[in-house]
Chain A
Amino acid sequence: MNESEFKRMKDLPSAHLLGTGTPMCSGCGGLETLHEIYDILGEKTVFINAAGCMTLLAVYPFTPFRGSWLYTAMASAPAGAQGVRDALDLLIEKQRINPEEDLDVVVLTGDGAAYGMGLSSTSSAIDRDLDFLYVCYDNEGYGNTGQQYSEATPHAARTATSKGPRGFPGYKKDLFAIWAAHRPAYVATVIGAEPLDLARKIEKAKGLKGPRLIIALSPCPTGWDFKPAESVEIGKLAVRTGIWPLKEYSNGKVTHTKVPHPRLPAEEYLKRQGRFKHLFHPQRNNALLKEIQARVDAYWESIR
């Protein structure tokens, strides 16, 4: 990360581009992330959206965006990005539009589309070396439909479709590794609660060509069951407990951009959220807590 414009918090943009009054829930970690990303990307962008919470940002005839927007469907936002990118390139090449009219093409989807239904179209877009930015706001469940579990749901989380005493039996899919395995130009994890780390990564992604993909863990008061005011704090805890590693992939190498030291116990993050309440009440589920902690420890051990 050479010569980042963002050295300290006060270097972050002070003018905010995304309008207010959207129907997102209060304390939405996804919206927080989008605000931060949009301020850096700027208005010469076209967002290609897939079905999810953010689809409700642009409701006829209003939009919080100063730039453009196209809603596609749940599975094929990257294919929409392909069509728009190719058409812009062709029209510039044929001098039917001025090069100054060019736009950055940004796919915006939730984890439902990114981890599952849209993975095939994403894989193919990367394979074709499409010049685009993909932003996934990951709230670890099908949030817009009431937080049923998705392929991004972490182990043991209670969701609308995993209400048993052990919560969700599966494990969160490693989308970062799956994306990185395609050897795209750039992959990064970010979180709105760490705006400086996020800004540097978006700045870096903006400066590259080819497929650039961002996963933003997005604390979700509604789906994770915590007070909206605690959204940023929970985001910080996700990083400090080592549950959400901040990292980036470029030139075949994975780098961790913020290694938590010392690492707080995972339960500091878990106990703040209603979706993990069953791990503590009516009695502590030591076995499950240990298992979760062991997985976090094993991850950080593996990257030493």
Chain B
Amino acid sequence: MKRMLLTGNGAAAWGARLSDIDYVPAFPITPQTEIIETIASWIDSGEIRNSRMVTMESEHSMITAAASAATTGARVFTATSSQGLLYGMEMIYTVAGWRVPFVLVNVSRGLASPITLEPDHNDVLVARDSGFLQIHCSTCQEVLDSTIMAYRLAEDERVRLPVIVNLDGFYLSFTREPVDIPEFDAVNRFLPPFNPENIRFIASRPISEAVVVLGGTPYSYFRYETHLAAMNALSVYNEIAEAFAKEFGRTHMAVEAYRAEDAEIVFFMMGSFATKAKDAVDSLRDAGVQIGLLRPRLLRPFPTEHIRSTLEGKKGVAVIDQNLSMGKGGVLHSELASALYGQPYAPPVLVSFIGGLGGRDITQEEFFEMAAVTRKAVEERKIPAPRLLYTIEELREVKKLQVIAHVEREELGPKQ
């Protein structure tokens, strides 16, 4: 094992390399590019041997080629971001139904419009209902480890589904952190070679894949099968996390709990900003507030039981969504509410906060404020309306830009 400073993108590339991938269909998009550039350079230098990378003309084709190769029996890696994930979305839904195990790293980035390069989670949440499993990372180490774990999860015969490993653009993709790089042999012990079993195209055993069904009965059958396989992934994931901890000494549970055991109030959020929340938890704890953090790493399958039991008896939850379902609110808030509703001892107060859209920071002061608002809601037994994080300074900044634009056009533009 060696320890290196790696970006999140570099960690994803290392995860793929250690997983002994056969095939990488690719298409460049910011902020994912470093992943495919790194893998391409390793293939060129021979550090990754016997693998092939093909740059396709779109993500739609990239995901088609990835799944087609996986369904022929190869171990496949691919990566994208944001608009690219959406461009390929028809195939994301389609190939999940092929029940092909491969890993797609998504480097989260906000969606147009307006177009931006900076991160939030609306992109990956579009894939939420597709049948892809989703692992969300908060550190570069987690990105590397989760990529390896994702292959074992995807290829498990009880699951057989593609997996998205998600990391935040910029905050993780371009941030260097010290990362332990496991030995290839150790990874080999943890992740046996891909055995496609009956999912493969060979001359001696013809198969038809992804054929039409007529009517709701066979359709429902296959949709339910995919759902049940995704549900199987909960217990399979726990086994894998245990095996991973045994082999590598690092524990990545389906849900990370931080100082949550005796907490009365809990932050609930995904991704790299959860590390900021941990800082806030430490400061608030120093100030005597009984607060903790719960961070689902698995979004699909949703670790409902795990979350229910961890939140049992808590007084309030501040749900922080780095996404926005227009006309409804935070997606994670809805997910959590549906998991807790009607459960005995479920926290009676869930407060919804939207923040961190398009790379906007969430400051420590805002975490303190969210904690205070949630405490107040607990005390008053009154749940406030969802809060869209935004400061007066930010609003003033945008107004200023609008004034500049106006002056440019009306006063400095060409004379009539």
Chain A residues proximal to chain B, CB less than 8 Å? 43-44, 46, 48, 55-56, 58-60, 63, 65-73, 75-76, 78-84, 86-91, 93-94, 96-97, 100-103, 120-121, 123-124, 128
Bound-state CA distance A94–B23 (Å) is 12
B68-A70 in contact (CB<8A): yes
Q: Which residues of A contact B211 (CB under 8 A)?
A: 58-60, 63, 69, 71
Q: Does B57 reach chain A (CB closer than 8 Å)?
A: yes
A59-B212 in contact (CB<8A): yes
Cβ contacts B182-226/A at 8 Å (1 or 0 each): 000000000000000000111110111111111000100000000
| 17 sampled A-B residue pairs with Cβ under 8 A | A58-B212, A59-B214, A68-B201, A69-B208, A70-B71, A71-B211, A79-B56, A81-B68, A82-B25, A83-B66, A84-B71, A86-B23, A86-B74, A87-B70, A96-B73, A97-B73, A100-B204
Bound-state CA distance A88–B22 (Å) is 11
Given A58-B211, A124-B57; A94-B69 close (CB under 8 Å): no
B73-A87 in contact (CB<8A): yes
Bound-state CA distance A91–B22 (Å) is 9
**Among B52, B58, B208, B214, contact of A90 (Cβ-Cβ < 8 Å):** B52
Given A59-B214, A80-B65; A128-B54 close (CB under 8 Å): yes
B60, B62, B69, B76, most chain A CB atoms within 10 A: B69
B60-A88 in contact (CB<8A): no
Shortest 10 CB-CB distances between A and B: which pairs?
A83-B68, A79-B61, A87-B72, A83-B65, A124-B57, A83-B69, A87-B69, A76-B64, A101-B202, A79-B64
Q: Which residues of B contact A123 (CB under 8 A)?
A: 57
Q: Which residues of A contact B214 (CB under 8 A)?
A: 59-60
A48-B68 in contact (CB<8A): yes
B201-A121 in contact (CB<8A): no
A43-B68 in contact (CB<8A): no
Q: Which residues of A contact B74 (CB under 8 A)?
A: 86-87, 90-91
Bound-state CA distance A67–B209 (Å) is 11
Q: Which residues of B contact A81 (CB under 8 A)?
A: 68
Given A68-B207, A79-B64, A124-B57; A73-B22 close (CB under 8 Å): no
B203-A63 in contact (CB<8A): no
Q: Which residue of B lies closest to A124 (CB)?
A: B57
Q: Which residues of B contact A83 (CB under 8 A)?
A: 23, 25, 64-72, 76
Q: Does B369 reach chain A (CB closer than 8 Å)?
A: no
Q: Does B377 reach chain A (CB closer than 8 Å)?
A: no
A101-B203 in contact (CB<8A): yes
Shortest B241–chain A CB gap in Å is: 29
Q: Which residues of B contact A84 (CB under 8 A)?
A: 68-69, 71-72, 201
Q: Which residues of A contact B91 (CB under 8 A)?
A: 72-73, 76
Shortest A64–chain B CB gap in Å is: 10
Q: Which residues of A contact B58 (CB under 8 A)?
A: 120-121
A97-B209 in contact (CB<8A): no
Shortest A182–chain B CB gap in Å is: 13
Shortest A240–chain B CB gap in Å is: 37
Bound-state CA distance A76–B63 (Å) is 9
Contacts A67-B203, A84-B71, A120-B61 given; 5 further ones with Cβ under 8 A? A76-B64, A87-B69, A89-B52, A91-B22, A101-B203
Q: Does B90 reach chain A (CB closer than 8 Å)?
A: yes
A70-B201 in contact (CB<8A): yes
Given A83-B68, A103-B203; A56-B212 close (CB under 8 Å): yes
Bound-state CA distance A213–B187 (Å) is 44
A72-B94 in contact (CB<8A): yes
Chain B residues proximal to chain A, CB less than 8 Å? 22-23, 25, 50-52, 54, 56-58, 60-62, 64-74, 76, 90-91, 94, 200-204, 206-214, 218
B212-A60 in contact (CB<8A): yes
A94-B22 in contact (CB<8A): yes
A70-B209 in contact (CB<8A): yes
Shortest A24–chain B CB gap in Å is: 13
Q: Which residues of A contact B201 (CB under 8 A)?
A: 46, 68, 70, 84, 88, 103
B206-A72 in contact (CB<8A): no
Q: Which residues of B contact A91 (CB under 8 A)?
A: 22, 72-74
Q: Which residues of B contact A72 (CB under 8 A)?
A: 64, 68, 91, 94, 210
Q: Which residues of A contact B209 (CB under 8 A)?
A: 68-71
B90-A87 in contact (CB<8A): no
A71-B212 in contact (CB<8A): yes
**Among B61, B206, B210, contact of A71 (Cβ-Cβ < 8 Å):** B210
Bound-state CA distance A140–B90 (Å) is 26
Bound-state CA distance A80–B57 (Å) is 13
Q: Which residues of B contact A121 (CB under 8 A)?
A: 56-58, 60-61, 64
Q: Which residues of A contact B94 (CB under 8 A)?
A: 72-73
Q: Which residue of A lies closest to B57 (CB)?
A: A124
Q: Which residue of A lies closest to B60 (CB)?
A: A76
Q: Which residues of B contact A75 (CB under 8 A)?
A: 60-61, 90
Bound-state CA distance A72–B72 (Å) is 14
Q: Which residue of B lies closest to A123 (CB)?
A: B57
B66, B211, B212, most chain A CB atoms within 10 A: B211
B206-A67 in contact (CB<8A): yes
**Among A56, A63, A124, contact of B56 (Cβ-Cβ < 8 Å):** A124
Q: Which residues of B contact A87 (CB under 8 A)?
A: 22-23, 68-70, 72-74
B71, B91, B203, B212, most chain A CB atoms within 10 A: B203
Given A65-B206, A80-B65, A101-B204; A60-B213 close (CB under 8 Å): yes
Bound-state CA distance A80–B94 (Å) is 12
Given A90-B22, A128-B54; A79-B65 close (CB under 8 Å): yes
A65-B61 in contact (CB<8A): no
**Among B60, B72, B206, B218, contact of A79 (Cβ-Cβ < 8 Å):** B60
B57-A120 in contact (CB<8A): yes
Q: Which residue of A lies closest to B55 (CB)?
A: A128
Q: Which residues of A contact B61 (CB under 8 A)?
A: 75-76, 78-79, 82, 120-121, 124
Bound-state CA distance A68–B198 (Å) is 13
Bound-state CA distance A183–B23 (Å) is 27
Shortest B71–chain A CB gap in Å is: 7
Shortest B368–chain A CB gap in Å is: 49
Bound-state CA distance A44–B60 (Å) is 28
Bound-state CA distance A95–B252 (Å) is 35
Bound-state CA distance A88–B196 (Å) is 13
